[in-house]
């Protein structure tokens, strides 16, 4: 045990890393095909997409809020991106740029309304979820866009080396940037401080407007990237992109130890959370288990993660011998 | 009741009431068929169910929390009821009571986990939403219960008052008055409100806040089960998809009605009649949007906008109320 | 898109001579179960029916979501607005019967289109693809392509769709008839949305891709996603029989990655369905001895036709479909109706 410095054990991600490795070993023991090049490729693809979605939710969790409209933004951007190219003949860079701007704008609206009205982000993003999704359906009338340029299709399929897809580059860049943002920059620290306690962060001179809007704009931006990555992957722009994002977007950060009250998120642990969710979804197909189990399992994993996080907090509190009265609601 | 009238006139419930009247008149004049017997009957049935869904959410909002699993819970309870009536062959009344018990039990799980972990009910009910729904599909293999007793299913198509109204609406109105009485005049009801309004103070005055919150979640489960039973009776079968995937389709009406009705999201306030009026308004507007032919695909967009406007108005009203308080 | 347009125009031209003068009071609402590309052809079919048969209206009205309650709400509001005939893809095989009964009470004729409701029902008839039969034929084609030997997988749609169970059973039946040489190694259901379908089908390919010899898909989205997956993998070893006419599937057939597809006839459903509704409202009744077909759900079924298309006729399938539609339309009145 001298290999590892003691402090690794206390990190959120250490336990998760063990879980990832163990589940990998167990599954490949029963099904060697799990380690096949193609399977790893498929796994990495699914991790790539969910990573972006999870980061998009994580940054809002960091400030102690939630964003129900992540999937709706992703879907709206996906169909705008493809629709602009197919119907309005936009070139790829312009379509990407417009897609990103739509994401930024949607995020800005969420952030602006939340911070300026003081209404809970839950209600604001529930409303914008229906607004964005409604625009999506109104524009497309539920019809997919098919004319995706070859270069985008190729990007969605190509491999860099061995089983590693090109598609994973962007999520990796995003993850690194998010880690830097949350750990090395003042605005990241401000977000966490705000998430920890709105009052004390204001005393520290942190502007709530700036923090909240920044976080939502980043969230919208990432959701936009997520939507476009799905387009590369599916090779068509269908209006129901994003419909299934809600649960996984919370599952990964929560499994990664994020505290929903805000102030504590961990980029590495969230990444591992994404990998765990991806491995489990895939294992269920490999072992031919009823698809409904995916939902049940995700639900239980969230609950268990919540229990573990809570237990750790509890021990922490005892250790510090500080009695904190926790109201059973926020 | 009459002594309360002047009070009532200055509340947002009165504003809602005027809005309802306004939209009724508006749609009667400007759309084809709004006031047709068929449409009004259909409307009364939708309203009846939306009122129950709204009330089920309202009692959790009272705690400052929310219940994402509402739809999944309701459908699970209804499927349980369908199983009891069709497969087990239990008579209607006991089967309905057991369905309500199931709803209450699932609500209790939500409440228990929320209170014991101290985690926000959002994440707890997000998890239970997928657990309930997944379990339900697993047990039923996504098969509907379609041979329910006719007495039960006929109730959903029964027409009363010269065929203008569904008796389901009377059921909902009954529950509205029941809840109103409960929160206003019973000890337990008052304690629930006290616990939601100010947990610390309530705890000091000897109310077990955790216990009260669990009661709220149980009540929410019960009301959701009622809504689901009503929906089952109206559809004539217990169907896994009757509230959409994961029961998610109930969420918009669930939040719209109480929020329009003036229930504070921070908890501590219930507006039973407001929620009822909110549900009526939402159904009215949805129906009107269909009739105006803005295109079915845009309806969700407009409902989203309405929710947004509702909360913004609510905020504005709060703001001006505070301002006038300060001035006086 | 081009293909869809060409079908529509060619069918329109063909049926042109049915154009009648005058205008009836029939206002048909064509209501699918929810937004889905399969039903898109109904819109043009309705418009053409108005033009050709002189209906008052035949409008395509889509519930914003796949949800029985929303579908009911939409239908109720349409009736409130004066639509007096309803063609509906049932949101639920039994649940939809309730509202059809209520419409019947209000004197509004209805029929189930593209999918059936279970009897007893007040729907006048069910006009659609015999989905079980189509899945059966598709599986037969696949088994033929595999020379009667191999392991196959079946990808299908929403478990709550009335057709899904029929399809699963039909595939099993075809496999059983192949006599031991063919084995179903996996059925993946409930993937009628792109993202979950993509994840599950790719995970399947990763785990079993080397083992499986054939794939039969019996719902729109899984067909698209599986065709895409085979194209991406560049795999021509695995034989696949798809369903419907999505561009991705048709292109994969042309490129040789997909063996063939089972076409359905949504345009014909909407067009002929609207025509029949008008006849019924005009006082025609169904013959007591009409040659109904029977399915697992109903014994008042009319097959709107299904055709297997492979690389040889993928460019000309429009004609085949047209032939079937024309045949049904020409003989409909004399076969089924007393006017």
> Within B238-271, where are the H helices?
251-260
CA distance C308 to C142: 11
Which of A135, A277, A299, A314 to mutate to test binding with chain B, by most B CBs within 10 Å of its CB?
A299
The phi and psi torsions of B146 (rounded to 5 degrees) equal -115, -5
Report which of residues C329 and C189 the model is more confident about: C329
ipTM above 0.85, yes or no: no
Of the options 1.10.3470, 1.20.120, 2.10.70, 2.20.25, the CATH number for the domain spanning A18-320: 1.10.3470
The Cα-based distances of B90 to A177, B79, B93, B230 in angstroms read: 60, 14, 8, 18
Contacts of B255 in chain A (CB under 8 A): 123, 126
Q: Compare all CA atoms of chain A with the CA of C195 and give the residue at the minimum distance.
A: A241
Contacts of B64 in chain A (CB under 8 A): 329-330
Record the tokens describing residue C285, joined without a space. 């009744």
Give me the mean pLDDT over the C178-204 stretch: 86
CATH classification at residue B104: 1.10.3470
Which of C33, C36, C69 to mutate to test binding with chain B, by most B CBs within 10 Å of its CB?
C69
C-alpha angle C193-C197-C198 in degrees, rounded to nearest 5 = 120
Q: Are C115 and C161 in contact (CB under 8 A)?
A: yes
The three state secondary structure string of C124-157 is CCEEECCHHHHHHHHHHHHHHHCCCCEEEEEECC
Model confidence at A309: pLDDT above 70: yes
CA distance C31 to C33: 7
pLDDT computed for residue B9 by the predictor? 45
Record the tokens describing residue C89, joined without a space. 């893809």
Model confidence at C3: pLDDT above 70: no
| Chain A: closest CA distance from residue B163 (Å) | 34
Give the lowest-confidence range in A1-5, B208-212, C193-197, C281-285. A1-5
Record the tokens describing residue B209, joined without a space. 């806040």
Go through the domains of chain C in sequence order and give each one's CATH number.
2-129+265-306+315-338 (3.40.50.2300), 131-263 (3.40.50.2300)
pLDDT computed for residue C1 by the predictor? 46
**From C64, C79, C159, residue closest to B296, measured CB to CB:** C64
Q: Do A260 and B119 touch (CB under 8 A)?
A: yes
Q: Does B235 touch chain A (CB under 8 A)?
A: no
Q: Which of B232-236, B243-247, C8-12, C293-297 has the highest mean pLDDT?
A: B232-236
Q: pLDDT of A312-325, one tens digit each? A: 777 777 766 544 44
Contacts of A41 in chain C (CB under 8 A): 206
Q: Are B260 and B281 in contact (CB under 8 A)?
A: yes
Q: Does C35 touch chain B (CB under 8 A)?
A: yes
Identify whether B294 is part of a domain: yes
Put simply, the chain B residues between 299 and 328 with a CB less than 8 A from any chain A CB are: 299-305, 307-308, 311-312, 315
Touching B (3+ Cβ pairs <8 A), the chains are A, C
Q: How many CB atoms lie within 10 A of CB B323?
A: 10
3-state secondary structure at position A237 = strand
DSSP β-ladder status, C285-286 and C150-155: unpaired
Contacts of C78 in chain B (CB under 8 A): 290
Q: pLDDT of C86-108, one tens digit each? A: 999 998 888 898 899 989 988 99
Q: pLDDT of B132-177, one tens digit each? A: 998 998 888 778 888 889 899 888 888 888 888 999 999 999 999 9
Report which of residues B247 and A268 the model is more confident about: A268
Q: Does C17 touch chain B (CB under 8 A)?
A: no
Q: Does A207 touch chain C (CB under 8 A)?
A: no
Q: pLDDT of B247-262, one tens digit each? A: 888 988 898 899 888 8
Which of C42, C184, C202, C230 to mutate to test binding with chain A, by most A CBs within 10 Å of its CB?
C202
Q: Do C82 and B142 touch (CB under 8 A)?
A: no
The Cα-based distances of C220 to A3, A73, A159, C249 in angstroms read: 54, 25, 28, 9
Q: Do B300 and A123 touch (CB under 8 A)?
A: no
C185, burial (CB in 10 Å: exposed 0-12, middle 13-18, buried 19+) = middle
Q: Any idea of the CA torsion for A314, A319, A320, A322, to the nearest 10 degrees?
A: 50
pLDDT computed for residue C241 by the predictor? 95
Q: Do A235 and C205 touch (CB under 8 A)?
A: no
Which of B115, B130, B250 to mutate to test binding with chain A, by most A CBs within 10 Å of its CB?
B130
CA distance A96 to A102: 10
CA distance B75 to B85: 15
Record the tokens describing residue B182, joined without a space. 């409960």
Closest CA to A278 of A29, A9, A48: A48
Q: pLDDT of C221-256, one tens digit each? A: 999 999 999 998 888 899 999 999 888 899 999 999
Q: Are B172 and B272 in contact (CB under 8 A)?
A: no
Q: Compare all CA atoms of chain B with the CA of C193 and give the residue at the minimum distance.
A: B245
pLDDT computed for residue A6 by the predictor? 57
Q: Do A117 and B315 touch (CB under 8 A)?
A: yes
Contacts of C233 in chain A (CB under 8 A): 38
| Chain B: closest CA distance from residue A310 (Å) | 7
If one counts the domains in chain B, the total is: 1
Contacts of A264 in chain B (CB under 8 A): none
pLDDT computed for residue B19 by the predictor? 87
Which residues have C-beta within 8 Å of that of residue A138, sequence separation ≥ 6?
Answer: B295, B297, B298, B301
pLDDT computed for residue A301 by the predictor? 84
Q: Does B209 touch chain A (CB under 8 A)?
A: yes
Give the lowest-confidence range in A49-63, A222-236, B130-144. B130-144
pLDDT mean across residues, chain B: 88
CA distance C241 to C176: 18
Q: Any idea of the CA torsion for C329, C332, C334, C335, to the nearest 10 degrees?
A: 140
Residue with tokens 């909240």, as numbered in its chain: A212
Closest CA to B306 of A130, C179, C113: A130
| Chain C: closest CA distance from residue A135 (Å) | 12
Contacts of C27 in chain B (CB under 8 A): none
Q: How many CB pairs under 8 A join B and C?
A: 105
Q: Does A26 touch chain C (CB under 8 A)?
A: no
Q: Are C32 and C42 in contact (CB under 8 A)?
A: yes
CA distance A183 to A191: 11
Which residues have C-beta within 8 Å of that of residue B60, sequence separation ≥ 6?
Answer: B66, B67, B121, B216, B217, B220
Contacts of C228 in chain A (CB under 8 A): 234-235
Q: Are B82 and B238 in contact (CB under 8 A)?
A: yes
CA distance B315 to B300: 23
Tally: H helices and E strands in chain A = 13, 2
- The β-bridge partners of C31 are C88
The Cα-based distances of B128 to A151, B98, B110, B113, C91 in angstroms read: 42, 20, 7, 10, 26
Touching A (3+ Cβ pairs <8 A), the chains are B, C
Record the tokens describing residue B240, joined without a space. 């896994």
Q: Are A66 and A215 in contact (CB under 8 A)?
A: no
Model confidence at C117: pLDDT above 80: yes
**From B144, B237, B297, residue closest to C64, measured CB to CB:** B297
* Ramachandran bin of A219, using left for φ above 0, alpha for ψ from -120 to 50, beta for the remaining angles: alpha
Q: pLDDT of B4-42, one tens digit each? A: 444 554 567 788 888 899 999 998 888 878 888 888 998
Domain boundaries, position B245: 37-318
Q: Is the pTM of this model over 0.90?
A: no
Q: Do A298 and B130 touch (CB under 8 A)?
A: yes
Identify whether B8 is part of a domain: no
Give me the mean pLDDT over the A294-312 stretch: 81
**Residue ranges of chain B whose CB lies within 8 Å of a chain C CB:** 31-34, 36, 38-39, 42, 46, 137, 141-142, 144, 146, 153, 156-157, 231, 234-237, 239-244, 249, 286-287, 290-291, 296-297, 299-300
Q: Do B242 and C67 touch (CB under 8 A)?
A: yes
Q: Compare all CA atoms of chain A with the CA of B112 and give the residue at the minimum distance.
A: A328
Percent of residues in chain B assigned helix, strand, coil, to nearest 5: 80, 0, 20
């Amino acid at each position: 045990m001298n290999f590892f410095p003691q402090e690794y054990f206390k990190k959120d991600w250490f336990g998760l890393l063990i879980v990832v490795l163990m589940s990998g070993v167990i599954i490949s023991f029963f099904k060697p095909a799990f380690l096949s090049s193609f399977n790893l490729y498929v796994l990495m693809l699914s991790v790539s997409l969910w990573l972006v979605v999870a980061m998009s939710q994580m940054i809002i969790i960091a400030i102690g809020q939630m964003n129900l409209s992540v999937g709706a933004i992703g879907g709206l951007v996906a169909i705008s991106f493809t629709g602009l190219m197919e119907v309005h003949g936009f070139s790829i860079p312009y379509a990407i740029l417009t897609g990103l701007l739509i994401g930024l704008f949607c995020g800005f609206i969420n952030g602006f309304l939340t911070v300026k009205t003081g209404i809970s982000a839950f209600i604001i993003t529930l409303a914008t979820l229906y607004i964005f999704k409604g625009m999506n359906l109104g524009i497309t009338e539920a019809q997919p866009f098919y004319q995706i340029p070859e270069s985008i299709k190729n990007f969605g399929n190509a491999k860099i080396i061995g089983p590693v897809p090109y598609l994973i580059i962007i999520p990796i860049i995003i993850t690194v940037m998010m880690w830097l943002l949350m750990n090395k920059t003042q605005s990241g620290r401000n977000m966490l401080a705000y998430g920890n306690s709105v009052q004390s962060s204001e005393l520290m001179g942190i502007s709530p407007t700036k923090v909240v809007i920044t976080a939502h704009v980043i969230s919208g931006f990432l959701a936009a990237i997520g939507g476009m990555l799905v387009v590369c992957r599916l090779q068509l722009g269908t209006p129901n992109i994003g419909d299934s994002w809600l649960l996984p977007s919370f599952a990964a950060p929560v499994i990664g130890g994020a505290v929903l009250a805000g102030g504590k998120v961990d980029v590495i642990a969230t990444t591992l959370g994404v990998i765990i969710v991806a491995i489990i979804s895939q294992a269920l197909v490999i072992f031919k288990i009823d698809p409904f189990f995916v939902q049940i399992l995700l639900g239980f994993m969230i609950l268990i993660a919540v229990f573990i996080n809570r237990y750790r907090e509890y021990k922490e509190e005892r250790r510090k011998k500080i009695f904190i009265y926790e109201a059973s609601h926020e | 009741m009459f002594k309360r009238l002047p009070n009532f006139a200055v509340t947002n419930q009165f504003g809602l009431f005027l809005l309802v009247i306004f939209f009724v008149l508006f749609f009667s004049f400007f759309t084809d068929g709004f006031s047709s017997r068929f449409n009004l009957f259909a409307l009364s049935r939708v309203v009846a169910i939306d009122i129950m869904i709204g009330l089920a959410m309202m009692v959790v909002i009272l705690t400052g929390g929310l219940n994402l699993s509402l739809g999944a819970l309701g459908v699970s309870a209804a499927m349980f009821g369908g199983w009891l009536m069709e497969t087990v062959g239990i008579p209607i009344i006991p089967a309905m009571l057991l369905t309500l018990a199931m709803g209450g039990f699932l609500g209790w799980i939500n409440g228990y986990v929320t209170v014991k972990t101290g985690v926000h009910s959002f994440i707890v009910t997000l998890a239970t939403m997928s657990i309930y729904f997944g379990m339900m599909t697993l047990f039923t293999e996504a098969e509907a219960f379609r041979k329910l007793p006719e007495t039960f299913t006929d109730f959903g198509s029964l027409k009363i008052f010269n065929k203008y109204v569904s008796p389901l609406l009377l059921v909902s109105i009954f529950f509205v008055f029941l809840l109103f009485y409960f929160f206003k005049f019973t000890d337990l009801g008052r304690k629930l409100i006290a616990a939601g309004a100010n947990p610390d103070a309530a705890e000091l005055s000897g109310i077990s806040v955790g216990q009260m919150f669990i009661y709220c979640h149980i009540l929410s489960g019960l009301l959701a089960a009622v809504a689901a039973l009503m929906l089952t009776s109206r559809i004539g079968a217990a169907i896994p998809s009757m509230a959409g995937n994961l029961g998610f389709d109930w969420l918009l009406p669930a939040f719209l009605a109480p929020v329009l009705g003036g229930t504070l999201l921070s908890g501590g306030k219930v507006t039973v009649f407001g929620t009822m009026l909110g549900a009526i308004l939402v159904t009215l507007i949805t129906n009107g949007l269909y009739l105006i032919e803005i295109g079915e695909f845009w309806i969700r967009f407009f409902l989203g906008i309405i929710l947004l406007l509702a909360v913004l108005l609510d905020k504005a009203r709060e703001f001006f109320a505070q301002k006038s308080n300060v001035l006086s | 898109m081009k293909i869809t347009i060409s079908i529509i125009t060619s069918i329109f031209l063909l049926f042109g001579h049915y154009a009648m003068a005058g205008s009836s009071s029939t206002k048909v609402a064509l209501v699918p179960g929810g937004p889905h590309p399969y039903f898109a052809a109904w819109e043009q079919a309705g418009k053409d029916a108005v033009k050709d048969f002189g209906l008052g209206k035949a409008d395509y009205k889509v519930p914003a979501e796949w949800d029985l309650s929303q579908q009911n709400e939409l239908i109720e509001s349409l009736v409130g607005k004066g639509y007096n005939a309803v063609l509906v893809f049932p949101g639920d095989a039994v649940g939809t019967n309730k509202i059809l009964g209520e419409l019947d009470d209000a004197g509004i004729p209805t029929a189930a289109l593209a999918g059936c409701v279970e009897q007893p029902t007040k729907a006048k008839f069910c006009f659609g693809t015999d989905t079980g039969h189509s899945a059966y034929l598709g599986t037969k084609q696949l088994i033929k392509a595999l020379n009667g030997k191999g392991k196959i997988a079946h990808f299908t749609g929403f478990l709550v769709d009335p057709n899904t169970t029929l399809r699963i059973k039909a595939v099993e039946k075809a496999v059983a008839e192949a006599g031991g040489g063919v084995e179903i190694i996996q059925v993946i259901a409930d993937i009628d949305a792109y993202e979950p379908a993509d994840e599950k089908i790719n995970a399947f390919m990763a785990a079993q891709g080397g083992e499986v010899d054939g794939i039969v898909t019996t719902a729109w989205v899984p067909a698209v996603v599986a065709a895409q997956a085979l194209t991406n993998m560049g795999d021509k070893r695995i034989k696949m029989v798809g369903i419907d006419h999505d561009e991705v599937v048709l292109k994969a057939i042309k490129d040789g990655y997909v063996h063939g597809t089972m076409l359905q006839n949504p345009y014909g459903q909407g067009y002929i369905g609207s025509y029949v509704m008008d006849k019924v409202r005009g006082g025609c009744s169904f013959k007591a001895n009409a040659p109904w077909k029977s399915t697992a759900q109903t014994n008042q079924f009319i097959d709107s036709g299904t055709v297997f298309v492979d690389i040889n006729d993928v460019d000309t399938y429009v004609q085949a479909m047209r032939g079937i539609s024309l045949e049904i339309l020409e003989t409909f009145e004399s076969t089924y109706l007393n006017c």
